[in-house]
């Protein structure tokens, strides 16, 4: 079994050593029961000083909590074998990464990720910024390890900031651990207090997220009162050393919350809520990390850009189903679902660099729930033609800018935003997908994917999809998006930055 270095010792992929469990148990003075034994004291650092902000550019941010974080990321599986990663717009952190590149919010495939890699339906096999687990509680239950018990692992990734979104499952069914199904406000608050102290006492800033309303509880359920009490306590932490507050109670934390911000289960946020949360969270994070988005300086014409249609030049591209107008040479614009139409146009940014403009219009009477157009290459480049081989790490970036058309809602059910960037490596019988759909209507965003070229693949599947545009069938009028030139570069292995090999 592969072993990884953790805070204070070694731990295998199956769990924490006893010393780490003791550290997770020992925060504060009031007794919170974490499974027996006298807890050792937690190492302390001086209280975090606001004058130390902003932190350096590309400071690592880890998202710790439950499914609200997890569902922004996804590890694809073919049987029991990992076959790709996705970042989606229903998670607030992927949206933040699309809007501002000053933060290190990288994720990457990690087949041997600890804490339940044998349960891919619950535990994402991804490393880096994603530390969300579906159904997670503050303390361990029969199905989840507990965020407090996972904290030593998160600390050893070396984040400067932890975005903490935890509590809804504790209110719903109990804190876990020796407290079991105890879901009283006092027990939850005491455990949450310890969770925060574990992080700040090790010099990590916490951005504390308020708890969202739930529409799956019956009217008058006593858990609503508990939720209100927990949120009141969270709001009172605004002046706590080392803590910043992401307070979205006015949007999603009371009975007046808009049901349309939630998925069909009435619990999880959809794309709309993630965007609203990001509008509150982003200024907080920007105040904490030094400005500078390196993506703005990327040159699509540079020699290290391996994309085969640099600058999206020319107007002799291929018009497929439903498409008219002009398309960049060597590219194709074609409808993949529905009966809508699209008109292509070009915008010249410089003599050698252009943007592809796509304007889509729905067709009356179409019964599809959503539609999409693909903007893709006319051929698949071989890895060898690009100077790539298995084991190389590559990153693909593309800027996309949407107008504020009401149809740019993406796919609410799956959490994909209105634009998805794909970089797929494949060979006959095998496909590895790197996808990012954390795009935002009405905003300029950068979509980024990264992957290690898998053994056994021979080419990149750009003739099937590069950028896919999703939109709502029911929206009237026309929506327009501007797509910049994709940039594909070799990059250094991102794992060592997160203390992973």
Band of residue 78 on the pLDDT scale cut at 50, 70, 90: confident
For the chain, how big is the Rg over CA atoms in Å? 23
- Measured CA to CA, the distance from residue 267 to residue 237 in angstroms comes to 24
Question: What was the pLDDT predicted at 241?
Answer: 95
Question: What was the pLDDT predicted at 122?
Answer: 47
Q: 56-60, 204-208, 252-256, 293-297: lowest mean pLDDT where?
A: 293-297
Considering only CA atoms, which of 490, 449, 455, 483 is closest in space to residue 468? 483
Considering only CA atoms, which of 409, 405, 392 is closest in space to residue 457? 392
What percent of the chain stands above pLDDT 70?
89
- Measured CA to CA, the distance from residue 277 to residue 95 in angstroms comes to 10
pLDDT (tens digit per residue) in 156-207: 999 999 999 999 999 999 999 999 999 999 999 999 999 999 999 999 999 9
Q: Which domains does the chain have, with CATH numbers?
A: 10-292 (3.40.50.1110), 300-498 (2.60.120)
Q: What angle do CA 320, 321, 326 make, to 5 degrees?
A: 45
- Mean pLDDT score, 9-28: 32
For the chain, how far is it from start to end, CA to CA, in angstroms? 14
SS (H, E, C) 19-30: HHHHHHHCCCCC
- Measured CA to CA, the distance from residue 205 to residue 53 in angstroms comes to 10
Q: Under a CB-based contact definition with an 8 Å cutoff, are residues 203 and 101 in contact? A: no
Band of residue 18 on the pLDDT scale cut at 50, 70, 90: very low
- Mean pLDDT score, 411-436: 91
Q: Which residue intervals of 217-303 are DSSP H helices? A: 223-235, 249-252, 271-288
Q: What are phi and psi of 193, to 5 degrees?
A: -60, -40
- Which residues, 6+ apart, have CB-to-CB distance to 132 below 8 Å? 63, 64, 65, 66, 67, 68, 69, 70, 71, 72, 73, 91, 124, 165
pLDDT reading at 2 higher than 80: no
Band of residue 474 on the pLDDT scale cut at 50, 70, 90: confident
- Measured CA to CA, the distance from residue 467 to residue 187 in angstroms comes to 47
Burial class (CB in 10 A: 0-12, 13-18, 19+), 3: exposed
pLDDT (tens digit per residue) in 106-161: 999 888 788 754 455 545 788 999 999 999 999 999 989 999 999 999 999 999 99
Q: Which two tokens stand for residue 473?
A: 């069938």
Band of residue 79 on the pLDDT scale cut at 50, 70, 90: confident
Higher per-residue pLDDT: 76 or 238: 238
pLDDT (tens digit per residue) in 373-383: 999 999 999 99
- Measured CA to CA, the distance from residue 324 to residue 336 in angstroms comes to 15
Burial class (CB in 10 A: 0-12, 13-18, 19+), 187: buried
* Residue 282 CB neighbour total at 10 angstroms: 17
421 forms beta bridges with: 436, 467
SS3 at position 171: helix
**Residue in this structure with the two tokens 């209100």, named with its chain if needed:** 228
Band of residue 17 on the pLDDT scale cut at 50, 70, 90: very low
* Residue 296 CB neighbour total at 10 angstroms: 9
CA torsion 283→285→286→289, rounded to 10°? 170
Mean pLDDT over each residue of the chain, to the nearest integer: 89
**Residue in this structure with the two tokens 């096999």, named with its chain if needed:** 125
Q: Under a CB-based contact definition with an 8 Å cutoff, are residues 333 and 324 in contact? A: no
Q: Which residue intervals of 236-357 are DSSP H helices? A: 249-252, 271-288
Q: Is the dihedral of CA 295, 298, 304, 307 positive or negative?
A: positive
Q: What are phi and psi of 379, to 5 degrees?
A: -150, 160
Considering only CA atoms, which of 133, 137, 131 is closest in space to residue 154? 131
- Measured CA to CA, the distance from residue 139 to residue 177 in angstroms comes to 5
* Residue 173 CB neighbour total at 10 angstroms: 15
- Measured CA to CA, the distance from residue 127 to residue 105 in angstroms comes to 10
């Amino acid at each position: 079994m592969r072993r990884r270095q953790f805070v204070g010792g070694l731990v295998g992929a199956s769990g924490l050593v006893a010393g780490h469990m003791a550290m997770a148990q020992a925060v504060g003075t009031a007794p919170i029961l974490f499974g027996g034994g006298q807890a050792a004291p937690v190492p302390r650092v001086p209280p975090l000083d606001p004058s130390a902000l902003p932190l350096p550019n590309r400071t690592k941010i880890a998202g710790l909590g439950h499914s609200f974080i997890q569902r922004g990321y996804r590890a694809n599986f073919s049987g029991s074998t990992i076959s790709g990663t996705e970042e989606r717009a229903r998670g607030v952190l992927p949206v933040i990464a699309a809007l501002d590149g000053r933060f290190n919010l990288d994720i990457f495939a990690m087949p041997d990720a600890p804490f339940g890699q044998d349960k891919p339906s619950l535990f994402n096999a991804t490393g880096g910024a994603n530390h969300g687990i579906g159904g997670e509680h503050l303390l361990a239950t029969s199905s989840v390890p507990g965020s407090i018990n996972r904290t030593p692992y998160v600390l050893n990734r070396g984040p400067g900031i932890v975005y903490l979104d935890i509590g809804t499952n504790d209110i719903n069914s109990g804190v876990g651990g020796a407290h079991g199904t105890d879901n009283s406000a006092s027990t939850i608050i005491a455990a949450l207090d310890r969770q925060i102290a574990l992080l700040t006492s090790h010099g990590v800033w916490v951005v504390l997220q308020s708890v969202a309303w739930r529409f799956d509880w019956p009217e008058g359920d006593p858990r609503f009162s508990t939720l209100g009490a927990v949120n009141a306590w969270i709001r009172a932490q605004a002046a706590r050393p080392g803590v910043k507050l992401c307070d979205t109670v006015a949007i999603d934390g009371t009975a007046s919350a808009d049901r349309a911000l939630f998925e069909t289960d009435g619990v999880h946020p959809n794309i709309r809520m993630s965007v609203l949360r990001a509008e509150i969270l982003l200024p907080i994070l920007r105040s904490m990390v030094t400005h500078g988005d390196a993506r703005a300086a990327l040159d699509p014409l540079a020699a290290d850009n391996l994309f085969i249609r640099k600058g999206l030049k020319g107007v002799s591209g291929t018009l497929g189903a439903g498409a008219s107008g002009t398309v960049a040479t060597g590219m194709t614009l074609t409808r993949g679902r529905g009966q809508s139409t699209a008109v292509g146009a070009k915008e010249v940014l410089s003599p050698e660099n252009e943007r592809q403009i796509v304007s889509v219009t729905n067709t009356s009477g179409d019964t599809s729930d959503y539609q999409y157009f693909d903007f893709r290459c006319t051929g698949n480049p071989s890895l060898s033609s690009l100077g790539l081989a298995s084991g190389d790490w590559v990153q693909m970036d593309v800027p996309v800018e949407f107008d504020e058309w009401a149809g740019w809602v993406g796919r609410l059910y799956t959490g994909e935003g209105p634009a998805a960037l794909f970089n797929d490596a494949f060979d006959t019988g095998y496909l590895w997908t790197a996808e990012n759909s954390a795009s935002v209507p009405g905003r300029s965003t950068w979509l980024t994917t990264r992957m290690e070229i898998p053994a056994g693949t021979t080419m990149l599947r750009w003739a099937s999809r590069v950028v896919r545009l999703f939109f709502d069938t029911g929206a009237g009028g026309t929506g327009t998006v501007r797509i910049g030139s994709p940039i594909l570069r070799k990059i250094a292995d991102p794992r060592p930055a997160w203390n992973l090999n």
